[in-house]
């Protein structure tokens, strides 16, 4: 009886609609009549609810579509090459690049310190911000505290990303590049101290032993005044503090989800970053020009790099002027095997019960699950 | 046999007789081809046709359908897809049973094939005018800011020139700045000539005006917020006017009239050091000239490059700007130029998206306004600026000449 029913329905199908019916060999279940009198799926065990949430819904969708028997499942061979390879050794190279530039910057600060004109000879340059806002003593400490908070937040966020290697590589490369540019601008023209309150350490004309000690002190104190390591003058254009504040904020914003809860986090970090930069100026520690140029260079470099990295269309295009920067060979070395824009996925280095962090990157989950097939 | 629609009444009755339907010849005496085609079953229910028909007109209607198919087949024999085509048309009524009701025919389906259109670059001189106004505003604003900053420059006795690495190595050369300005003027004249020979002048002019305007706007900001002292003791700054805005206006006008050049004697105000406007103009004209000229003119590119490089070097030789001014100017000019042209040449970057970071710049909306109708990379086509019919051009300089 079922057989005749099947024939009738097939006959209708051929006359009424123009469907292509293809049977695929790996189909384990027999063809069901469209009215769904018997459910072959009822024989299979129920799906587990805990993990593979998107797969579950897709199979449920399979069931729905199956009834009408008008879809074709084309099995794709799973590609063995991952499109977001880790390549920790490249991250190591980027780290060495950043470290090298930090040390060289420190050496440069020591050199430049000797060339800063004395306060009495060259008074501070006129600055519009300083004309309007008088100096506040505690401001620079606030900046450094905020900077440390942002760096710690970014570090925690970085640890919990899945594609740590790639993101870490980018951070180190950009930081190294920005410090390198800073070395150049500090060296070629030396600005005088921005304010009479600055106490510069005495100059050492040819005493290289002392200079090395200063370098070591600065590096170990991470260049912060709070630790008492930074008593040298001359590193004004452009401001390294602004670079760190802006860069950590840009990275925090870029590599975190975009949902409403996270927007609060973004706003907080943005406010912290802005406050930190404002406090640099409030403390009269840098000229306004230093801060503006630092912000400009940091943000442009960040956008430039990420546009080059995320737009595959640009990589082979002949009209890609972005390749004309001198560091494009370094870029292609680092990002050659990264074929996608890095999705926002979190994975804890230590396994935490997943109940509390159920699918945090909600807005990216659709994209993610289809990409990770 | 011509089309049914153009049949006369005689032809209709002749056809009826041929088909063996003489009973209708009398009733359909007044019917011509068109009326025949428009016969429906309703007509057979009314007099006079109801009297002569035996089957409600079914046979006749079927024959009319056959006629229609036949004529369509004869008329359209080249490549049109004919649905429900049944081969031998004059055969029996079974051929018409094709599942389509009410004689609804679809004899041919035309698949429109879009011809590949070459991208159209509409000139849109209005947008170019907006960009030009923007650039002029930025120039005037820069001049005003120079005049304001001049008042705040510390005198060279109080604040000596800052230590600069280049100045340590190279002593001052007096005539160097004149060389720089001459180079600048040569480059600008060459660029204007090249621009007038371009086919898509409007688009290129729009881009130039926008980029120049933005660069000068940035320059205003950097000049204003921190004032650097004069780079050398040789500078003769004109005296400060201290609030006398009439003489300030006069100074501004003089500067604009002289194009901001020292050669014309219009620029003896100090304070506009970071960053160097001369470097901006030299670099930008070179970048534009290289971009919008044929690739194989390598000698032209090298010539312009050397003019630009010599000009920039001479700025420093003359101790007229700090090294930092020149370096920052070069950096900002090149980055902005490449940024803008990458955005303009990639359609994917003209829309905001998650991966389009270039859309985060403040001038993105203005950019979209200017470049929204430019569909592709602007080709390097040249044409004569005026039609000189009287003159005889024997030697064609540019090979891609448009003869529109």
Q: What pLDDT shows up at residue A349?
A: 63
State yes or no: pLDDT of B398 exceeds 70: no
Q: Is A110 exposed, middle or buried (0-12, 13-18, 19+ CB in 10 A)?
A: buried
| Three-state DSSP state, B352 | coil
Q: Which two tokens stand for residue B200?
A: 């898509």
Q: Which two tokens stand for residue B345?
A: 């040449």
In B, minimum Cα distance to A323 occurs at B338
Asked if B323 and A188 come within 8 Å (Cβ–Cβ), the reply is yes
Cα separation, B366 vs B207, in Å, equals: 11
User: Contact at 8 Å (CB) between B283 and B328?
Assistant: no
- pLDDT reported for residue A31: 46
Q: What is the pLDDT of residues A154-174, one digit of tens each?
A: 999 988 888 888 899 999 999
- B162 vs A contacts (CB less than 8 Å): 117, 122, 189-192
pLDDT given at position A19:
52
Among B98-107, B202-211, B334-343, the least confident range: B98-107
The predicted pLDDT at position B393 comes to: 46
What is the band of B379 on the pLDDT scale with cuts at 50, 70, 90? confident
Burial of B62 (0-12, 13-18, 19+ CB in 10 A): middle
Average pLDDT over residues B222-236: 86
Distance CA B226, CA A164 (A): 40
Mean pLDDT of A125-143: 88
Indicate whether A232 pLDDT > 70.
yes
Q: What residues of A are in contact with residue B226 (Cβ under 8 Å)?
A: 125-128, 287-289
| Residues B52-72: tens digit of each pLDDT | 777 777 888 888 888 888 766
Higher pLDDT, B321 or A119: B321
B278 is catalytic: yes
What tokens appear for B133 in the block?
């106004």
pLDDT, one tens digit per residue, over A8-33 is 444 444 444 445 555 554 444 444 44
Vertex B361 angle, CA B357 and B366, to 5°: 120
Return the pLDDT at A278. 93
Q: What is the pLDDT of residue B2?
A: 61
CA B378 to chain A, closest CA, distance in angstroms equals: 11
Closest-CA distance of chain A to residue B186, Å: 26
pLDDT at A9: 43
Residues of chain A neighbouring B159 (CB-CB closer than 8 A): 122-123, 125, 192
More confident: B346 or A90: A90
Measured between CA atoms, the residue of chain A closest to residue B321 is A189
Give the pair of three-digit tokens for residue A137.
């003593």
CB–CB contact A127 B225 (8 Å): yes
Catalytic residue among B278, B319, B395, B402: B278
**Adjacent-strand bridge partners of B226:** A127
Is the pLDDT at A236 greater than 60? The verdict is yes
Above 90 in pLDDT, residue A98? yes
Q: Tell me which of B325, B381, B392, B395 is the catalytic residue.
A: B325
Contacts of A320 in chain B (CB under 8 A): 342, 346
How many other C-beta atoms are found inside a 10 Å radius of the C-beta of residue B391?
A: 9
CB contact under 8 A, B342 and A320: yes
What average pLDDT does range B136-149 have in this prediction?
Answer: 90
Distance CA A373, CA A74 (A): 14
Which of these ranges, B121-135, B153-167, B203-217, has the smallest mean pLDDT?
B153-167
Residue of chain A minimizing CA distance to B337? A321
Question: How much is the pLDDT for B103?
Answer: 55
In this prediction, residue A64 carries a pLDDT of 55
Per the CB < 8 A criterion, the answer to whether A293 and A237 are in contact is yes
Phi, psi (degrees; rounded to nearest 5) at A339: -100, -5
Contact B338 A321 (CB under 8 A): yes
In this prediction, residue A58 carries a pLDDT of 52
Average pLDDT, chain B: 80
CA atoms of B49 and B358, how far apart (whole Å): 77
Bond into A238 cis (ω within 30)? yes
pLDDT band at B102 (very low <50, low <70, confident <90, very high): low
**A117–B162: do the CB atoms touch at under 8 Å?**
yes
Cβ within 8 Å, pair B355-A128: no
> What pLDDT, on a 0 to 100 scale, did the predictor assign at position A113?
86
From A288, A299, A303, residue closest to B225, measured CB to CB:
A288
Subunit contact A185:B328, Cβ cutoff 8 A: yes
Chain A residue with CA closest to B161: the answer is: A122
pLDDT at residue A221 greater than cutoff 70? yes
Residue A285's closest CA among A130, A151, A147, A158? Answer: A130
The arithmetic mean of pLDDT across residues B12-38, rounded, is: 82
Instruction: Give pLDDT, residue B326.
Output: 92
Look at residue B266 and tell me whether its pLDDT is greater than 80: no
Closest alpha carbon within chain B to A324: B338
- Cα B38 to Cα A26, B33, B67: the distances in Å are 56, 9, 13
Q: Which of A321, A322, A328, A363 to mutate to test the interface with B (most CBs of B within 10 A)?
A: A321
The confidence band for A80, taking pLDDT boundaries of 50, 70 and 90, is low
Compare CB distances from B348 to A121, A299, A311 and report the shortest one's residue: A311
Burial B272-298 (b: 16+ CB within 10 A, else e): bbbbbbbbbbbbbbbbbbbebbeeeee
User: Residue B222 is nearest to which of A125, A289, A300, comparing CB atoms?
Assistant: A289
CA distance linking residue A202 with residue B312, whole number of Å: 37
Q: What is the CA radius of gyration of chain B?
A: 40
Nearest-CB residue to A126 (from B227, B323, B334): B227
Q: DSSP characters for B239-271?
A: PP-TT-HHHHHHHHHHHHHTTT-TTTT------
Average pLDDT of span B294-321? 91
User: In angstroms, what separates the C-alpha of A344 from chain B's closest C-alpha?
Assistant: 12
Taking CB atoms and an 8 Å limit, are B346 and A123 in contact across chains? no
DSSP string spanning A8-77? Answer: HHHHHHHHH--------TT--SPPPPTT-SS-GGGGSPPPPSSS-HHHHHHHHHHHHHHHHT---PPPPP
Q: What is the pLDDT of residue A2?
A: 45
Instruction: Tell me B37's DSSP state.
Output: H
Q: What is the pLDDT of residue A362?
A: 40
Give pLDDT, residue B109. Answer: 83
A18 CA to chain B: closest CA distance, Å?
13
Residue B376: closest CA among chain A residues belongs to which residue?
A319
Average pLDDT of the segment spanning B100-113: 70
B162 to A190: CB separation less than 8 angstroms, yes or no: yes
Instruction: Identify all chain B residues contacting A113, using CB atoms and an 8 Å cutoff.
Output: none
Q: What are phi and psi of B199, to 5 degrees?
A: -80, -45
pLDDT of amino acid B305: 93
Let me know the angle formed at the C-alpha of B171 by B169 and B173, rounded to the nearest 5 degrees.
140
With pLDDT > 90 as the criterion, what percentage of chain A qualifies? 21
Rounded to whole angstroms, how far apart are CA atoms A269 and A250? 10
Tell me which of B321, B392, B402, B404 is the catalytic residue.
B321
Q: Measured in whole angstroms, how far is the alpha carbon of residue A213 from the centre of its chain?
A: 35
Closest partner residue to B274 among A190, A289, A324, by Cβ? A289
A76-90, A248-262, A327-341, B325-339, range with the lowest pLDDT: A76-90
User: Given this model, what pLDDT does residue B191 score?
Assistant: 93
Å between B340 CA and nearest CA of chain A: 9
Instruction: Tell me which chain B residues have a C-beta less than 8 angstroms from the C-beta of A190.
Output: 162-164
Task: Give yes or no for residue B83 having a pLDDT over 60.
Answer: no
Q: Does the structure show a pLDDT above 70 at A359?
A: no
CA dihedral A259, A261, A263, A269 (to 10 degrees): -140
Cβ <8 Å between A189 and B341: no
- Contact check, Cβ <8 Å, B324/A322: no
Q: Which of A122, A300, A317 sits opposite B160 (nearest CB)?
A: A122
Mean pLDDT, chain A, as a whole number? 76
Per-residue pLDDT band for B76 (boundaries 50, 70, 90) equals low
Task: Give the tokens for residue B273.
Answer: 């050091």
How many CB atoms are located within 10 Å of the residue B348 CB? Answer: 14
**Average pLDDT of B164-180?**
88
Residue B212 has pLDDT above 80, yes or no: yes
Q: Which residue of A has its CA nearest to B228?
A: A125
Comparing A37 with B317, which gets the higher pLDDT?
B317
Quote the pLDDT of residue B245: 79
- Looking at residue B12, what is its pLDDT? 83
Measured between CA atoms, the residue of chain A closest to residue B378 is A319
Cβ-Cβ contacts under 8 Å for B134 (sequence gap 6 or more): B209, B210, B213
Cβ contact (<8 Å) for A300 and B337? no
Res. B130 pLDDT band, cuts 50 70 90: very high
B162 pLDDT more than 80: yes
- pLDDT at residue B96 is higher than 60: no
Out of A127, A313, A325, the one facing B346 most closely (by C-beta) is: A313
- Which residues in chain A touch residue B232, judged by CB atoms under 8 angstroms apart? none
User: Of B38-42, B271-275, B384-388, where does mean pLDDT reach its minimum?
Assistant: B384-388
CA B155 to the chain's CA centroid: 50
What confidence tier does B82 reach under pLDDT thresholds 50, 70, 90?
Answer: very low
Question: Quick one: pLDDT at residue A335?
Answer: 85
């Amino acid at each position: 009886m079922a057989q005749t029913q099947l024939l009738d329905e097939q006959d209708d199908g051929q006359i009424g609609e123009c469907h292509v019916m293809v049977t695929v060999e790996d189909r384990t279940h027999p063809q069901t009549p469209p009215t769904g009198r018997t459910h072959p799926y009822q024989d299979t065990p129920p799906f587990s609810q805990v993990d593979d949430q998107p797969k579950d819904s897709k199979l449920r969708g399979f069931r729905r579509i199956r009834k009408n028997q008008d879809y074709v499942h084309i099995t794709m061979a799973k590609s063995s090459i991952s499109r977001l390879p880790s390549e920790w050794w490249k991250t190591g190279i980027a780290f060495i690049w950043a470290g090298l530039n930090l040390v060289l910057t420190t050496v440069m600060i020591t050199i430049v310190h000797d060339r800063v004109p004395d306060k009495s000879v060259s008074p501070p340059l006129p600055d519009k911000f300083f004309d309007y806002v008088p100096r506040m003593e505690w401001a620079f400490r606030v900046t450094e505290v905020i900077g440390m908070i942002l760096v710690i937040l970014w570090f925690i966020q970085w640890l919990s990303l899945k594609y740590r290697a790639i993101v870490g590589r980018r951070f180190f490369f950009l930081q190294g590049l920005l410090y390198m540019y800073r070395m150049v601008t500090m060296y070629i023209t030396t600005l005088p101290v921005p304010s009479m309150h600055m106490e510069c350490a005495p100059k050492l004309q040819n005493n290289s032993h002392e200079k090395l000690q200063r370098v070591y002190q600065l590096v170990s104190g991470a260049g912060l005044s709070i630790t008492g390591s930074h008593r040298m003058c001359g590193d004004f254009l452009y401001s390294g503090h602004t670079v760190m504040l802006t860069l950590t904020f840009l990275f925090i914003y870029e590599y975190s989800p975009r949902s409403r809860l996270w927007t609060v986090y973004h706003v907080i970090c943005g406010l912290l970053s802005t406050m930190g930069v404002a406090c640099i100026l409030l403390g009269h520690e840098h000229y306004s020009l230093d801060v503006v140029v630092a912000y400009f260079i940091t943000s442009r470099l960040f956008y430039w790099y990420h546009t080059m990295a995320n737009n595959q269309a640009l990589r082979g295009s002949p009209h890609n002027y972005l390749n004309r920067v001198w560091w494009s060979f370094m870029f292609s070395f680092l990002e050659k095997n990264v074929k996608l824009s890095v999705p926002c996925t979190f994975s804890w280095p230590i396994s935490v019960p997943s109940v509390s962090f159920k699918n945090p990157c909600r807005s990216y989950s659709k994209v993610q699950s289809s990409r990770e097939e | 046999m011509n089309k049914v629609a153009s049949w006369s009444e005689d032809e209709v009755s002749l056809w009826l007789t041929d088909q063996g339907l003489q009973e209708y010849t009398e009733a359909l005496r007044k019917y011509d081809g068109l009326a025949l085609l428009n016969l429906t079953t309703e007509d057979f229910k009314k007099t006079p046709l109801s009297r002569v028909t035996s089957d409600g007109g079914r046979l006749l209607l079927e024959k009319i359908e056959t006629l229609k198919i036949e004529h369509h087949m004869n008329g359209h024999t080249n490549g049109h897809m004919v649905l429900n085509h049944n081969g031998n048309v004059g055969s029996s009524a079974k051929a018409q049973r094709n599942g389509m009701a009410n004689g609804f025919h679809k004899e041919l389906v035309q698949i429109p094939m879009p011809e590949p259109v070459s991208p159209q670059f509409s000139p849109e001189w209005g947008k170019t005018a907006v960009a030009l106004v923007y650039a002029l505003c930025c120039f005037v604003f820069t001049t005003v800011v120079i005049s304001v900053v001049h008042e705040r420059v510390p005198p060279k006795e109080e604040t000596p020139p800052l230590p600069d690495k280049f100045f340590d190595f190279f002593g001052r050369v007096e005539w160097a700045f004149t060389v720089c300005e001459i180079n600048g003027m040569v480059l600008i004249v060459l660029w204007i000539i090249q621009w007038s020979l371009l086919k898509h002048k409007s688009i290129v002019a729009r881009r130039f005006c926008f980029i120049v305007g933005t660069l000068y706007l940035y320059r205003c900001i950097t000049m204003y917020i921190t004032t650097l002292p004069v780079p050398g003791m040789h500078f003769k700054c004109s005296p400060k006017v201290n609030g006398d805005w009439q003489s300030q206006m006069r100074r501004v006008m003089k500067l604009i009239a002289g194009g901001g050049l020292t050669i014309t004697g219009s620029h003896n105000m100090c304070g506009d050091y970071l960053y160097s406007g001369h470097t901006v103009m030299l670099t930008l004209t070179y970048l534009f000239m290289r971009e919008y000229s044929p690739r194989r003119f390598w000698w032209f590119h090298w010539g312009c490059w050397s003019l630009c490089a010599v000009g920039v070097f001479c700025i420093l030789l003359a101790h007229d700007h700090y090294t930092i001014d020149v370096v920052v100017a070069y950096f900002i000019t090149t980055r902005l130029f490449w940024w803008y042209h990458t955005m303009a040449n990639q359609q994917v970057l003209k829309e905001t998206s998650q991966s389009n970071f270039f859309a985060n710049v403040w001038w993105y909306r203005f950019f979209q306004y200017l470049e929204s109708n430019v569909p592709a990379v602007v080709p390097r086509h040249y044409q004569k600026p005026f039609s000189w019919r009287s003159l005889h051009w024997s030697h064609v300089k540019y090979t891609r000449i448009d003869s529109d």
